[in-house]
């Protein structure tokens, strides 16, 4: 497995990380804990050293899963988790309320450390920007945690360029995590240029379009009650059908490279910047191996131009969120 450094932070990780959310949350019922621990162990054996979780995944159970899984090789991996939400009323499972008050950040850090069973959080992201709390206060709170030895690096997620700049002035931002793939290209331009300016690593989540860019879905695909993709406009039948043009574009390259559509989608992302580290999630060993093999695929300048020119003619149908 190749290694990459997240910007100027010095934080070195595997060129491809593993997003662990889907093991416990978001895409249907939680998977068997022993099977997921085995999968994380296999990921490590195959060279993955960067694992992504959050308190709200489960909630809480994903951090516990990841903590138990990485215990045998804790010193050899980087663990990223997140703060920034709080449980709402009703059943306590809804995390629609922002909360990045400094006192809450400290509470989340302490709770996450216990669930993960670690002494220090390697990378602590603000999960989403809280409009009620100045980002300077958020960065200051994480800075205090870093000074106390509870956290090593500060990260943001889905933040705009101005927010990144303001936060970075208080506490250097090591990484920005936002959705980025061939069919979600919002970070291009100002966001990526800001990351480059300040030496901030970029961690694309959903680099395979929540599974769509694997080429395994079409307009007949259905989603269970616990799978939030069923609520997303981009996963409605008409959008699933219309967006097949992206799969056709990737497949034309994949056939020539003796690769899969998913591998070309990941290879394209890796080729964008040397400080980009995608974190595709999976619950299947075969998909894990397939994703990791994408690191070895080198797209030529001509192939990258072909993808770029082809994608420029296409328009994604359906918004990211309702």
Listing DSSP states for 174-202 in one string gives EEEEEE-BTTB-TTTTHHHHHHHHHTBEE
Which residue among the candidates 27, 57, 153, 212 is catalytic per the annotation?
57
User: Radius of gyration over alpha carbons of the chain, in Å?
Assistant: 19
What would the two tokens of residue 301 be? Answer: 């300048």
Q: What are the beta bridge partners of residue 276?
A: 202
Rounded Cα distance, 167 and 106, in Å: 17
Is 57 considered catalytic here? yes
Helix-then-strand count for the chain, H and E: 11, 11
Question: What is the SS3 assignment for 7?
Answer: strand
State the CB neighbour count (10 A cutoff) for residue 60: 17
Confidence of residue 18 (pLDDT cuts 50, 70, 90): very high
Rounded Cα distance, 322 and 318, in Å: 9
pLDDT of residue 95: 63
Per cent of the chain over pLDDT 90 is 95
Per cent of the chain over pLDDT 70 is 98
86 vs 211 pLDDT, higher one = 211
What would the two tokens of residue 63 be? Answer: 């951090």
State the CB neighbour count (10 A cutoff) for residue 188: 11
Rounded Cα distance, 64 and 57, in Å: 10
Contacts of 178 (CB under 8 A, 6+ apart): 157, 158, 159, 186, 187, 191, 202, 203, 204, 205
Structural domains of the chain ordered from first start: 3-211+265-297 (3.20.20.100)
Question: What is the SS3 assignment for 66?
Answer: helix
Model pLDDT for residues 235-286, shown as the tens digit of each residue: 999 999 999 999 999 999 999 999 999 999 999 999 999 999 999 999 999 9
Rounded Cα distance, 55 and 8, in Å: 27
Confidence of residue 31 (pLDDT cuts 50, 70, 90): very high
Mean of pLDDT over the chain: 96
pLDDT of residue 86: 87
Model pLDDT for residues 36-91, shown as the tens digit of each residue: 999 999 999 999 999 999 999 999 999 999 999 999 999 999 999 999 998 766 55
């Amino acid at each position: 497995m190749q290694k990459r450094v997240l910007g100027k932070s010095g934080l070195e990780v595997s060129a491809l990380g593993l997003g662990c959310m889907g093991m416990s949350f978001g895409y249907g019922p939680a998977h068997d804990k022993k099977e997921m621990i085995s999968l994380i162990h296999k990921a490590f054996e195959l060279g993955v050293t960067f694992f992504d979780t959050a308190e709200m995944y489960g909630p809480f159970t994903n951090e516990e899963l990841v903590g138990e899984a990485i215990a045998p090789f804790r010193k050899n991996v980087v663990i990223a988790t997140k703060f920034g939400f709080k449980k709402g009323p009703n059943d306590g499972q809804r995390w629609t309320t922002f909360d990045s008050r400094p006192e809450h950040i400290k509470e989340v850090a302490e709770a996450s450390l216990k669930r993960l069973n670690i002494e220090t959080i390697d990378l602590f992201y603000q999960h989403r920007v809280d409009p009620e709390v100045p980002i300077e206060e958020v960065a200051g709170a994480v800075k205090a945690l870093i000074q106390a030895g509870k956290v090593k690096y500060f990260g943001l997620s889905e933040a705009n360029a101005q927010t990144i700049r303001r936060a970075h002035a208080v506490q250097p931002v090591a990484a920005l995590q936002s959705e980025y793939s061939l069919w979600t290209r919002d970070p291009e331009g100002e966001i990526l240029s800001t990351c480059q300016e300040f030496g901030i690593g970029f961690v694309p989540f959903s680099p395979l379009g929540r599974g769509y860019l694997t080429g395994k879905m079409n307009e007949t695909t259905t989603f269970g009650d616990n799978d939030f993709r069923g609520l997303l406009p981009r996963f409605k039948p008409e959008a699933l059908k219309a967006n097949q043009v992206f799969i056709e574009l990737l497949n034309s390259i994949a056939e020539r490279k003796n690769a899969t559509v998913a591998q070309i989608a990941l290879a394209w992302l890796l080729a964008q910047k040397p400080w980009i580290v995608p974190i595709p999630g999976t619950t299947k060993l075969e998909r894990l191996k397939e994703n990791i093999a994408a690191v070895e695929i080198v797209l030529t300048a001509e192939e990258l131009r072909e993808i770029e020119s082809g994608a420029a003619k296409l328009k994604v149908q359906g918004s990211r969120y309702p």
